[in-house]
């Protein structure tokens, strides 16, 4: 092609064993030998760990020795190590964008372990595709953008507070946005903390005050996140501050208004065990200490206005206020919720009044709680003499929440010890558990302490609970250590219910374009090496929003996230990937006729179209999805690093041999490609006839790619995208693709293509299982349709497709 004519292409191929991860299935030597046979490949080798120091050194050496000007690394997913290897080649003086990776681990050896021969064939194809693309790679320079050195922390629990304080101490301005009236999070609801039994609010309170007083921290409480735009270093965030009907600057927090207010409503902070006034603070240590009127309950008698008097802090006409913030990094610390097994009436919760959750128990035993720290029964106000705790309610339950909520064992031990400390031998405490999980410092000793104090541990799952006329509870369980069923009458039952994703986590995920795992918690970029990062550069995770965490873990992660954010904020500028769209002014139709399709399809408004002039892409605003490239009727737009020529080369390489037996997949980087990676990481096996081409967004998938694939005889074509309606990393690229492909599918069907041969699927980064299932299904269907029919259909299609693609000069 035109691009490569001027230089002599010298490609080096490096095949990685990854220990036995790849070499245990794929014959790496055979792949290496095969690579040597490919045009323009002047060097090929294999090594045990390409990403290790010696492995990288070998690449650098080879580049110099063999004058390599393109490098192909057949190893793990580019989502894992592309960054590493780009640095490696640039250290050897090569432009980092002259590197291409073939994913022969996640997409090959890990998902085809029982078919080594076919896996090796697939690996060869993947290398061939990578080499084909590498031949057409062009050097690119990263785009440098300035950084706003302020941070946004979403969520004012202990993780968010820790992150905000650390960043503020480093000298960065921090906006700490909290949905509720006060910061503090769940920790502020707790009585004592394990294993030291120190008072929770006594240790968190000073931190909350520190955050409020810190000159670099601005707390924006009682606020909602409306929208987030922009990219690393340059986020624009809109926040809505909800009206408290109390003017923050004037409120002294004296509480005189509360005393005169006639109206009470359930206090959510107390898990609705007690009440608060219609004008009040949720708890005495609230930060900011500003009263709030709940207009849902207020009867507007204005007694509070009278009591407030000259301070004039009350303003019934207050309106929601929208604020726009500009920040360089965002830390998400939105926390978790506690599962309330109300609807299902699990263990009689919601039906029997003396069955409560652990968080409710926490409010009961807390001295500042609604009962003044007295553990009493709801039915008669008496202190229970026999209390039973039931573990893993909802957690570790495949029908509900399969994961372990992590901290329940420890807080139940704490509750048991607290009861024993308060009442000694006057109380019997039973704990029904599956396993006691007490790893981490001081936890096992705490468990020992509970046993020494006489807490009874019964290993076994509770089957059901019934109520006696005295409102006592009969627990039916199996003692798996004794191997026999048991019955126990308790006067109070406390359920350790699962920690679940916070309400509204889906909305936060949508606004920030970050992914959630199958458990609903936010997903980290890499479970081992990037546990704090999200797939979106510049957005980090802290605390239990990523998965249940106890206090020390949340604090550490908060500090970790602060450090990660500081790596961006401390620099005057960041480099962003130059994979943007570029318009060829000579080809652009807009010069001759009114067009502007690209501008109308761009999700970011990054394209400017003026009458009679070629369209123009504003580089800093372009996010590099490639939707405009696919939409341009004149093929005048090119996406750097994902050019038409490069992708066509990959298609042809993939379908050179036995095309009718293959499934060609176009997968978007953020969801489907990551889903395929997860299928590999989780070792879900599927048939090896899939060949994946990575695009940044499904919006990039041109109709012509599909046509070319069928012209080359592909058995099936799959387009993998993010879920509709909101999951797309580029706002709505998946919608544009959907519209485009619906029309195309109809046309292909009319031309005689079996509809099942062209498929669009929406698979998230968390859906490894779904990915494997889709491929299995497609492979079965492929088998069912049969090679003969496919060949016949393709032969019929070819002349039509030839004609359609001829305008591309193909």
Partner 1 sequence: MVMKLLRTETDEHLKVSRTLYTRSYLLILDKKRCIRCEICRAACPKEAIEIIQPTRVEGERLSHASISIDEKKCSFCGICSTICPVGAIKLIIDGEERSPVIDKGSFPELIRRVEIDTSKCPRNCIECQEACPFDLIKVEWNGDSVRIDVDLDHCPGCRLCETKCPENAITVKRIFSGRIRIDWSKCPDGCRDCVDVCPIPGVLEVSDDGRVGVNDYFCIYCGACRVVCPVEDALLLERTVIAHAPVQSGAWNSALERLTSTRGLIKELMSKRMGRALESVMRRLS
Residues 644 and 702: their CA atoms lie apart, in Å, by 9
- Tell me: does residue 756 bind partner 1 (CB under 8 A): no
- At its nearest, how many Å lie between partner 1 and the CB of residue 494? 11
- Tell me: does residue 340 bind partner 1 (CB under 8 A): yes
- At its nearest, how many Å lie between partner 1 and the CB of residue 300? 5
Interaction mask 691-710, partner 1, x per CB under 8 A:
--------------------
- At its nearest, how many Å lie between partner 1 and the CB of residue 194? 24
Choices 213-221, 269-277, 324-332, 585-593; region in contact with partner 1 by CB under 8 A: 269-277
Q: What angle is formed at CA 539 by the lines to CA 538 and CA 545, rounded to 5 degrees? A: 165
- Tell me: does residue 366 bind partner 1 (CB under 8 A): no
Burial group, residue 359, by CB count within 10 angstroms (0-12, 13-18, 19+): buried
490: nearest Cα among 671, 689, 347, 694? 347
- At its nearest, how many Å lie between partner 1 and the CB of residue 762? 37
Largest CA distance in the chain: 92
- At its nearest, how many Å lie between partner 1 and the CB of residue 475? 17
Could you tell me the two tokens for 46?
Answer: 């294999």
- Tell me: does residue 726 bind partner 1 (CB under 8 A): no
213 to 238, 284, 313, 671, 735: CA distances (angstroms): 24, 18, 21, 42, 46
- At its nearest, how many Å lie between partner 1 and the CB of residue 359? 12
152: nearest Cα among 333, 289, 321, 3? 333
Of residues 349, 540, 673, 762, which one binds partner 1 by CB under 8 A?
349
Is the distance from CB of 136 to CB of 110 less than 8 angstroms?
no
Number of residues in contact with partner 1 under rule CB under 8 A? 34
Of residues 37, 252, 272, 567, which one binds partner 1 by CB under 8 A?
272
**How many CA atoms within 13 Å lie on the side-chain side of 147?**
24
Residue 238 or 258: the one with the smaller Cβ distance to partner 1 is: 258
Choices 180-188, 197-205, 273-281, 496-504; region in contact with partner 1 by CB under 8 A: 273-281
Question: Can you tell me whether residue 154 is helix, strand or coil?
Answer: strand
User: Which residues inside 375-404 make contact with partner 1, applying CB under 8 A?
Assistant: 378
Residue 294 or 773: the one with the smaller Cβ distance to partner 1 is: 294
Residue 376 or 434: the one with the smaller Cβ distance to partner 1 is: 376
Residue 384 or 535: the one with the smaller Cβ distance to partner 1 is: 384
Choices 147-155, 347-355, 627-635, 663-671; region in contact with partner 1 by CB under 8 A: 347-355
Q: What is the DSSP string of 367-409?
A: TTSTTTT----TTTSPPPSEEEEEEEESBT-TTSB-S--SSHH
- Tell me: does residue 263 bind partner 1 (CB under 8 A): yes
User: Which residues inside 783-802 make contact with partner 1, applying CB under 8 A?
Assistant: none
Is the distance from CB of 149 to CB of 191 less than 8 angstroms?
no
- Tell me: does residue 260 bind partner 1 (CB under 8 A): yes
User: Tokens 């987030």 — which residue?
Assistant: 228
Q: What is the distance of C-alpha 207 from the center of its chain?
A: 28
Choices 12-20, 293-301, 384-392, 610-618; region in contact with partner 1 by CB under 8 A: 293-301
- At its nearest, how many Å lie between partner 1 and the CB of residue 625? 45
Choices 37-45, 53-61, 348-356, 746-754; region in contact with partner 1 by CB under 8 A: 348-356
CA 738, 740, 128, 795: dihedral to nearest 10 degrees?
120
Pairing relationship of beta strands 492-497 and 386-393 according to DSSP bridges = parallel
- At its nearest, how many Å lie between partner 1 and the CB of residue 338? 12
- At its nearest, how many Å lie between partner 1 and the CB of residue 354? 8
Q: Which residues touch 149 (CB under 8 Å, ≥6 apart)? A: 172, 173, 328, 569, 570
- At its nearest, how many Å lie between partner 1 and the CB of residue 501? 21
Phi then psi dihedrals of residue 776, to 5 deg: -60, -45
Interaction mask 296-335, partner 1, x per CB under 8 A:
-xxxxxxx-xx-----------------------------
Of residues 18, 25, 239, 261, which one binds partner 1 by CB under 8 A?
261
Burial group, residue 786, by CB count within 10 angstroms (0-12, 13-18, 19+): exposed
- Tell me: does residue 344 bind partner 1 (CB under 8 A): no
User: Tokens 């069923």 — which residue?
Assistant: 485
Of residues 49, 265, 440, 735, which one binds partner 1 by CB under 8 A?
265
Kind and range of the H or E run holding 122: helix 116-135
Residue 305 or 608: the one with the smaller Cβ distance to partner 1 is: 305
Choices 353-361, 507-515, 592-600, 796-804; region in contact with partner 1 by CB under 8 A: 353-361
Q: Which residues touch 725 (CB under 8 Å, ≥6 apart)? A: 735
- At its nearest, how many Å lie between partner 1 and the CB of residue 364? 8
Question: Can you tell me whether residue 637 is helix, strand or coil?
Answer: strand
Binding footprint of partner 1 on the chain (CB under 8 A)? 260-266, 272-275, 278, 297-303, 305-306, 340, 342, 349-350, 353-356, 360, 364, 370-371, 378
């Amino acid at each position: 092609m035109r691009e490569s004519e001027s230089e002599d292409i010298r490609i080096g191929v490096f095949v990685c064993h990854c220990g036995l991860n790849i070499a245990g299935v794929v014959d790496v030597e055979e792949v290496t030998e095969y690579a040597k046979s490919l045009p323009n490949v002047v060097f090929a080798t294999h090594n045990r760990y390409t990403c290790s120091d010696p492995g990288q050194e070998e690449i650098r050496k080879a580049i110099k020795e063999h004058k390599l000007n393109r490098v192909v690394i057949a190893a793990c997913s580019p989502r894992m190590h592309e960054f590493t290897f780009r640095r490696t080649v640039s250290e050897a003086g090569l432009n980092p964008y002259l590197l291409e990776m073939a994913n022969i681990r996640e997409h090959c050896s890990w998902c085809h372990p029982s078919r080594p021969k076919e896996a090796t064939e697939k690996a060869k194809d993947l290398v061939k595709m990578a080499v084909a693309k590498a031949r057409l790679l062009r050097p690119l320079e990263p785009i440098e953008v300035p950084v706003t050195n302020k941070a946004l922390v979403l969520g004012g629990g202990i993780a968010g507070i820790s992150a905000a304080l650390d960043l503020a101490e480093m000298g960065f301005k921090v906006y700490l946005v909290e949905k509720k009236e006060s910061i503090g999070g769940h920790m502020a609801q707790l009585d004592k903390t394990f294993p030291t039994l120190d008072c929770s609010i006594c240790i968190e309170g000073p931190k909350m005050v520190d955050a409020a007083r810190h000159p670099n921290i601005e707390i924006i409480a009682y606020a909602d996140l409306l929208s987030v735009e922009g990219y690393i270093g340059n986020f624009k965030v809109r926040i809505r501050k909800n009206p408290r009907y109390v003017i923050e600057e004037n409120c002294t927090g004296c509480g005189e208004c509360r005393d005169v207010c006639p109206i009470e409503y359930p206090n959510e902070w107390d898990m609705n065990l007690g009440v608060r006034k219609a004008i009040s603070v949720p708890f005495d240590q609230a930060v900011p200490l500003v009263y709030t009127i709940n207009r849902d309950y207020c009867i507007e008698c204005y007694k509070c206005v009278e009591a407030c008097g000259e301070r004039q802090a009350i303003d019934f006409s207050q309106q929601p206020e929208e604020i726009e913030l500009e920040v360089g990094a965002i830390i998400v610390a939105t926390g978790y919720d506690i599962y309330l097994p109300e609807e299902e009436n699990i263990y009689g919760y919601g039906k029997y009044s003396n069955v409560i959750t652990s968080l409710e128990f926490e409010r009961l035993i807390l001295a500042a709680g609604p009962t003044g720290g007295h553990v009493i029964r709801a039915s008669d106000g008496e202190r229970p003499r026999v209390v039973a705790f039931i573990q893993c309610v909802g957690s570790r339950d495949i029908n509900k929440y399969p994961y372990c909520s992590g901290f329940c064992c420890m807080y139940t031990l704490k509750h048991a010890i607290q009861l024993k400390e308060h009442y000694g031998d006057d109380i019997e405490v039973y704990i029904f558990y599956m396993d006691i999980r007490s790893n981490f410092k001081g936890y096992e000793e705490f468990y020992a302490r509970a046993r020494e104090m006489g807490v009874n541990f019964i290993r076994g799952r509770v089957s059901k609970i019934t109520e006696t006329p005295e409102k006592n509870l009969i627990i039916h369980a199996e003692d798996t250590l004794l191997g026999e069923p048991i019955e126990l009458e308790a006067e109070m039952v406390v359920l350790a219910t699962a920690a679940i994703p916070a309400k509204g986590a889906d909305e936060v995920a949508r606004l920030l374009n970050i992914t959630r795992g199958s458990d609903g918690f936010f997903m980290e970029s890499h479970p081992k090496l990037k546990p704090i990062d999200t797939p979106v550069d510049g957005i980090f995770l802290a605390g239990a929003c990523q998965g249940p965490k106890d206090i020390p873990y949340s604090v550490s992660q908060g500090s970790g996230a602060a450090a990660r954010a500081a790596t961006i904020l401390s620099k005057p500028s960041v480099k962003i990937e130059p994979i943007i769209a570029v318009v060829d002014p000579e080809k652009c139709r807009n010069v001759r006729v009114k067009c502007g399709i690209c501008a109308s399809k761009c999700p970011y408004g990054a394209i400017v179209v003026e009458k009679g002039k070629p369209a123009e892409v504003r580089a800093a605003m372009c996010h590099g999805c490639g939707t405009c490239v696919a939409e341009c009727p004149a093929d005048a737009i090119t996406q750097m690093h994902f050019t038409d020529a490069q992708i066509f080369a990959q298609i042809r390489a993939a379908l050179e041999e036995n095309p009718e037996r293959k499934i060609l997949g176009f997968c978007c980087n953020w969801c489907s490609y990551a889903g395929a990676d997860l299928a590999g990481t989780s070792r879900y096996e599927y048939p090896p006839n899939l060949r994946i081409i990575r695009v940044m967004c499904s919006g990039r998938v041109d109709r012509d790619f599909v046509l070319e694939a069928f012209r080359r005889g592909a058995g099936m074509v799959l387009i993998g995208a993010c879920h509709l309606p909101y999951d797309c990393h580029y706002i709505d690229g998946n919608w544009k693709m959907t519209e485009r492909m619906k029309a195309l599918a109809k046309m292909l069907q009319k031309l005689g293509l079996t509809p099942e041969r062209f498929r669009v699927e929406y698979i998230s980064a968390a859906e490894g299982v779904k990915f494997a299932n889709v491929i299995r299904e497609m492979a079965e269907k492929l088998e069912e349709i049969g090679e003969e029919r496919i060949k016949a259909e393709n032969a019929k299609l070819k002349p039509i497709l030839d004609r359609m693609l001829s305008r591309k000069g193909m």
